[in-house]
Structure 1
C-alpha cells in the first residue's frame, strides 16, 4: 500500500500536501471516520493516513491521480460489500471515490462498524 509523492510525518501534513480538492474530500471522510470510531488514532502508516482502532489498523486513506481511496484493509469485508454500496467503486479491498463526492456518513459508518467488528473479533479471542 506504499504510495509515492506525498511523504508526510502526520495526517494533517499529508492532507496539506495532496491537491486541495482531494485533501478536502479526504478530510471529510477522515472526520466522518473519527466521529464513528471510538478513540480513533490518526497515524501515517505505509506513507498514508491510517485510522487505528484498539491499536490495529482499521482503514487508510490515499489519493491517486484520478481518485481518492478508502483502503478497507480487509478483502473479506470488500467481498461482503460488493454489489451493496451505492457510491464509490470497489477495486480489490479499496473503495475509490471522486474528490467532488466524498463518501457519505452512511457508507463510512457501514465500513467502519464492520471493520471494528473484525478487529474486535480478532482481539477478543
Structure 2
C-alpha cells in the first residue's frame, strides 16, 4: 500500500517532513529499535521508514493525522500481543500511539524480539 503525504528517499527526510511532535516521537521509537535489533537497516519502503533485519522488513513507522504508528508487519504477532500491551492501541497489525507518549523501551524490545524470532524462523 502506498501512503500519501510525506514522500522521502531517506528515513531522516521522512522524520524531518512530518509534524515536529510526531517526528520526535518516531525518532524515539526508531532509536529504541536500533538499540535492540542487531544489524538493523533503515530504509524507506512503501513511502514509510522501515527497519530491516537480516534483509527482511521487521517493522515500519508512520504518522496519521491523530496518531503515530508502529506497523508490526505480522498479523499473528499482533493477535498474540492483544491484551498484553499496556500502551498504545492495536488496530489490525498496527500499534497506534500518541506523539506525546512514544512507546517505551520495554514495549519496543518485546515487539522487536518477537518479530526477529519470526524472521529467524522463516530464514532457518
> C-alpha deviations, 1:38-97, integer Å up to 9, x for none?
010000000000000000000000000000000000000000000110000000000000
SS at match of 2:69: strand
Separation in 2, partners of 1:69, 1:2: 15
1:73 aligned to 2:76? no
1:49 aligned to 2:49? yes
TM superposition shift of 1:6: 0.1
* TM-score normalised over the length of structure 1: 0.98
1:86 aligned to 2:81? no
TM superposition shift of 1:2: 2.3
1:98 aligned to 2:98? yes
1:120 aligned to 2:120? yes
Separation in 2, partners of 1:2, 1:82: 26
SS at match of 2:99: coil
Separation in 2, partners of 1:85, 1:9: 32
Equivalenced residues, count:
124
In structure 2, the partner of 1:39 is 39
Output the aligned Cα RMSD. 0.5
SS at match of 2:3: coil
Task: Give the gaps of 5 or more residues in structure 2.
Answer: none
